[in-house]
């Protein structure tokens, strides 16, 4: 089992029960005590759990906890890039493309900005900033108004009104969590309403979610799991969860994070990189 798959299993267990013991993980995963402790240390550094004596617990709140953009931008970067690389292949010149807020969609935007003749509608300050740093005359970028959230999304009635006035060829959405029963979820009630408007405005709905999002539950459901025409995730997702999703999603795309490298950037740094 790869380290990413092992850590995904650890997170799934802690999200189910609220806590895990090192001894139980050693038995379930079939690895050494040292390997489990090393995995817990990595996950703790990423802010995904809190280490305690003999194991680990959830890092504070659950369904309403909303990590900020900076905190999330340091997690699963290789997986996010592989997902973004697969997603950008779904875009063609002449399309109107919706892009929601999030660090995975921010990574996607960095690749999307190289495509000609597209219109991008986003409620993400960070995504809009990606395009403003390298403006092109053959691209149009529309940033909705709204109330700013910790994840740098613009939400609320202003955002919803703007989104309802457009028709999108394809919507690319990052999510806080996904689950076969609860669907795609977010910890922010107003963001859920804004995201639902995006789904309604699009002809094709694509979800970008790395393996750590499986089993995470936000307070509000954006859409049912089978609402996605395409779900792009990474190979760190356990096989049984891939099978469950494949039975429900129109097209499940599983990418290998090791297949891609970070995109080249110029000397200008970008917030959240």
The distance in angstroms from the start CA to the end CA of the chain is: 29
Kindly give the interhelix angle for 103-112 and 77-88, rounded to the nearest 10 degrees.
50
User: CA 237, CA 79: separation in Å to the nearest integer?
Assistant: 11
Contact residues for 159 (Cβ-Cβ < 8 A; gap 6+): 123, 144, 145, 146, 147, 194, 197
User: CA 262, CA 80: separation in Å to the nearest integer?
Assistant: 10
Share of the chain above pLDDT 70, in %: 86
Q: Tokens for 70?
A: 């900076």
Q: Tokens for 244?
A: 């469950």
Q: Does residue 255 surpass a pLDDT of 50?
A: yes
Q: At 273, is the pLDDT very low, low, confident or very high (cuts 50, 70, 90)?
A: very low
The backbone torsions φ and ψ at residue 137, rounded to the nearest 5 degrees and listed phi first, read: -75, -20
Q: At 151, is the pLDDT very low, low, confident or very high (cuts 50, 70, 90)?
A: confident
Q: pLDDT averaged over the chain? A: 86
- 174-183, pLDDT tens digit by residue? 999 998 999 9
Contact residues for 18 (Cβ-Cβ < 8 A; gap 6+): 57, 58
Q: Does residue 83 surpass a pLDDT of 70?
A: yes
Q: Which CATH code for domain 70-255?
A: 3.40.50.1360
Tell me, what's the pLDDT at 75?
A: 60
Q: Which residues pair with 197 in a beta bridge?
A: none
Q: What is the mean pLDDT of residues 215-230?
A: 93
Going from N- to C-terminal start, the domains of the chain cover 3-57, 70-255
Q: What is the mean pLDDT of residues 205-220?
A: 90
DSSP alpha helix (H) spans, 21-156: 22-29, 33-45, 69-72, 77-88, 103-112, 125-133
Q: What is the mean pLDDT of residues 95-107?
A: 96
Of the options 2.40.50.140, 1.10.630.10, 1.10.10.10, 2.170.190.11, the CATH number for the domain spanning 3-57: 1.10.10.10
Tell me, what's the pLDDT at 221?
A: 95
Q: What is the mean pLDDT of residues 115-140?
A: 95
């Amino acid at each position: 089992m790869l380290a990413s798959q092992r850590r995904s299993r650890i997170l799934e267990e802690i999200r189910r029960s609220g806590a895990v013991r090192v001894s139980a993980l050693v038995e379930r995963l079939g690895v050494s005590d040292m390997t489990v402790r090393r995995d817990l240390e990595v996950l703790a550094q990423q802010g995904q759990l809190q280490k305690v004596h003999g194991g680990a617990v959830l890092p504070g709140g659950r369904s309403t906890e909303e990590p900020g953009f900076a905190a999330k931008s340091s997690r699963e970067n290789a997986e996010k890039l592989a997902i973004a690389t697969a997603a950008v292949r779904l875009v063609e010149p002449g399309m109107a493309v919706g892009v929601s807020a999030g660090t995975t969609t921010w990574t996607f935007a960095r690749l999307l900005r190289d495509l000609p003749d597209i219109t991008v509608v986003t409620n993400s300050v960070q995504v809009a900033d990606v395009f403003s740093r390298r403006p092109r005359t053959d691209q149009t970028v529309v940033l909705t108004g709204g109330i700013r959230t910790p994840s740098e999304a613009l939400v609320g009635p202003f955002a919803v009104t703007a989104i309802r006035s457009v028709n999108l060829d394809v919507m690319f959405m990052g999510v806080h969590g996904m689950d076969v029963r609860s669907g795609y979820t977010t910890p922010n009630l107003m963001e859920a309403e804004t995201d639902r408007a995006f789904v309604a405005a699009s002809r094709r709905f694509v979800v970008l979610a790395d393996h750590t999002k499986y089993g995470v539950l936000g307070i509000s459901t954006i859409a049912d799991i089978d609402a996605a025409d395409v779900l792009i995730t990474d190979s760190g997702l356990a096989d049984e969860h891939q099978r469950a999703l494949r039975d429900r999603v129109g097209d499940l795309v599983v990418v290998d994070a090791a297949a891609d490298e970070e995109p080249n950037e110029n000397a200008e740094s970008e917030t959240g990189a």
